[in-house]
Structure 1
Amino acid sequence: MGRRSERLSKQGMLASDLAGEGDVIQVVSRAFDVLRCFEGHEARLGNLEISNRCGLPRSTVSRLTHTLTRMGQLVYLPRDQKYRIGPSAVAMSTSMMRGLQLRNLIRQRLQDVAEQLPGTVGFVIPDRFHLVYLEHGRAANALGLHEGTGSRIAMASTAAGHAYTAALDADVGDALLAEMEREIPEGAKLLRPRIEDNRRSLREHGYVVVCGLWSPHINGLAVPVWSPQYQTFVVVTIGLLSAMYDEARLHKEVAPRLLELSVAVGALLEGTDGDIFSNRMESKPLPVPTHNNKIVKTEDTNELEAGARRPRAARSLRTRDGRR
């Protein structure tokens, strides 16, 4: 692997790029920033709204939306004088989501936990300063957080985001925080004072707890899991009503189940040559941890033990490629 490829393997990003010093092509980066503004297929936004969301000059946004429209990534609506996601973007996302075997298996495990806990259990992947729900599980009587597949959540104000940033190598995490301070300073103010405590919690317990930050009524717990396919951390997380689950109860009752779930998800991610989106997976059977009723143990070195296999814990992963 070449030197540049080794650098790129650090959570799929370069610390220097995050600091604005790398060789990122800015026009490409800004085009994706524009597309990120459209949360959902029905979202309709004008250039001014996009400019406010992206923090880009309106003239720059105008050129980008014109180009993206010519490419079919956006559609212009003359009556509204707004844009919406175009057919090319829909076709691209649909083809990526076509194969669901692995994600179905992950969803089943999320749902198993959701049947035991009255909240929303999610499997999320990072997207710059946000995380996106790839799958979720929710019991019929679930209370509190009601996010669904495709929902975006802020990295700075959620347990999932705090767990993800805590799992990053210190240089990558600090660079991400520095970029956040420049672009969304209000988010950085939430995250920076807690980053060291989050890193310590991850080292000592294997998870991160965030109470009342996103909403005073919601407490969350999250576990980062290394994805070998994407060379970054994905996160297993749960949101619960704070009136029912205070911090002590999260540690005592919720943490063991989320740790066990993270081991199962990690085994699925490491046990296939396919990826989260594609249907091109080998036909070999996927490993299924046989925990039964065992509680996952947290040892002094915090190695999570599974019945079938033991994926690498976030803290013990190699520093060279950005994993802790």
Structure 2
Amino acid sequence: MLAGEAGESDVIQVVSRAFDVLRCFEGHEARLGNLEISNRCGLPRSTVSRLTHTLTRMGQLVYLPRDQKYRIGPSAVAMSASMMKGAQLRNLIRLRLEDIAEQLPGTVGFVIPDRFNLVYLEFARSASALGLHEGIGSKIAMASTAAGAAYTAALQPEIGDALVAEMEREAPEAARLLKPRIEANRQFLREHGYVVACGLWSPHINGVAVPMWSPQYQTVVVVTIGLLAAMYDEERLHSEVAPLMVKLGKAVGDLLEGAEGDFLNNRLERKPIAMAVRNNNKPIAPGGLNELEVGTRRARPARSLRAGDGRR
């Protein structure tokens, strides 16, 4: 066998073994240690340890230091949005997105991080949402969108900074766009519970996004909307769009936390989210609160980026 062929064979073997490891996780609730994975897929424990470390760095797995086990990661979910297909949770989330799309002429999405991008797991679009064509599985850049701004602002500072540092090494142009804004986004998110981005991805598109913690995927996820800048300038984003998106974030956050009973019944009835009124042209924060709890669950450590023990 030629040297090149041998090298290619080694790469194929590594990729094949990595998929063998991922196939050990039957559903996103499965939690497995290296020994359990080794027993399931018949690979040496030392090989499994190297593979799980690499897969964790890639976001395919998440390390749980308290349990000393792994679970399926957000990037693996993003690569296969069909994992949620047909589930009641996804149906309910889509109904809430549709409520907003009926009131605002934009594209409303539920996105999950995938390295330096975010991926649409669900979306709803107004019939008048011209020029906005995202759909399930579509990727949007983390550095140049409201969703990316909200996601990075919601991370613990040391984890967000580590992400930016990694971005500086691998996608320096994106890092140059994101890094100068991240501290201001963190401050605004703490005070208001949402983030805006105007004209970053396109001069014609403005956006609002709300992040929240997802117990299912052990990462921060985001609800976001993109609107034509000609129709919604920054003032209108704050006064008219943000109150709706904050309420949407709370509704989706409650679903992700496993709310049941009347809440689920109300979602099925598709009661519209009420439009907040304007008060002297100033944004109104629901309930008088301005923390991440408004419209989101408080963002916990994004273990998809770095586990508590420093694993990446």
Answer yes or no: same fold by TM over 0.5: yes
Give the letter for the 2:192 counterpart: H
Partners of 2:86 and 2:261 lie apart in 1 by 13
- Residues 123-142 of structure 1 aligned to structure 2 (within 5 Å): 123-142=110-129
- Residues 78-157 of structure 1 aligned to structure 2 (within 5 Å): 93=80, 96-157=83-144
> Are the equivalent residues in 1 in contact too, given 2:286–2:294 (CA < 8 A)?
yes
Q: Label 1:242 to 1:31 Cα distance change in 2 as closer, same or farther (>3 A).
A: same
RMSD: 3.5
Partner of 1:286, secondary structure, is: helix
Q: Cα deviation per residue 1:67-87 (whole Å; 9 max; x = unaligned)?
A: xxxxxxxxxxxxxxxxxxxxx
Partners of 1:318 and 1:129 lie apart in 2 by 17
Pair 1:286-2:264 in alignment: yes
Partners of 1:30 and 1:268 lie apart in 2 by 26
Give the letter for the 1:302 counterpart: E
Aligned to 1:44: none
Give the letter for the 2:298 counterpart: A
Q: Label 1:287 to 1:223 Cα distance change in 2 as closer, same or farther (>3 A).
A: farther
- Residues 174-189 of structure 1 aligned to structure 2 (within 5 Å): 174-189=161-176
**Per-residue deviation, 1:93:** 3.9
Give identity over the alignment, percent: 64
**Per-residue deviation, 1:96:** 2.2
Q: Label 1:27 to 1:319 Cα distance change in 2 as closer, same or farther (>3 A).
A: closer
Partners of 1:114 and 1:259 lie apart in 2 by 14
Q: Cα deviation per residue 1:14-33 (whole Å; 9 max; x = unaligned)?
A: xxxxxxxxx87499559979
Pair 1:312-2:297 in alignment: yes
Partners of 2:114 and 2:302 lie apart in 1 by 22
Give the letter for the 2:105 counterpart: P
> Are the equivalent residues in 2 in contact too, given 1:271–1:287 (CA < 8 A)?
no
**Per-residue deviation, 1:98:** 4.4
Q: Label 1:27 to 1:233 Cα distance change in 2 as closer, same or farther (>3 A).
A: closer
> Are the equivalent residues in 2 in contact too, given 1:217–1:243 (CA < 8 A)?
yes
**Per-residue deviation, 1:292:** 5.9
Aligned to 1:235: 222
Give the letter for the 1:245 counterpart: Y
Unaligned runs of 5+ in 1: 1-22, 36-88, 273-281
Aligned to 2:288: 299
> Are the equivalent residues in 2 in contact too, given 1:298–1:304 (CA < 8 A)?
no
Partners of 1:134 and 1:94 lie apart in 2 by 6
Q: Cα deviation per residue 1:259-310 (whole Å; 9 max; x = unaligned)?
A: 01001101111126xxxxxxxxx9998374788637461635536568xxxx
> Are the equivalent residues in 2 in contact too, given 1:120–1:239 (CA < 8 A)?
yes
> Are the equivalent residues in 1 in contact too, given 2:147–2:222 (CA < 8 A)?
yes
Count of aligned positions? 229
Partners of 1:241 and 1:319 lie apart in 2 by 31
Partners of 2:264 and 2:198 lie apart in 1 by 35
Give the letter for the 1:293 counterpart: A
**Per-residue deviation, 1:144:** 3.4
Residue 210 of structure 1, aligned match among 179, 192, 197: 197
Q: Cα deviation per residue 1:222-270 (whole Å; 9 max; x = unaligned)?
A: 0001111122110000000111111011000000000010011011111
> Are the equivalent residues in 2 in contact too, given 1:268–1:288 (CA < 8 A)?
no
Partner of 1:262, secondary structure, is: helix
Give the letter for the 1:200 counterpart: Q
Partners of 2:198 and 2:81 lie apart in 1 by 36
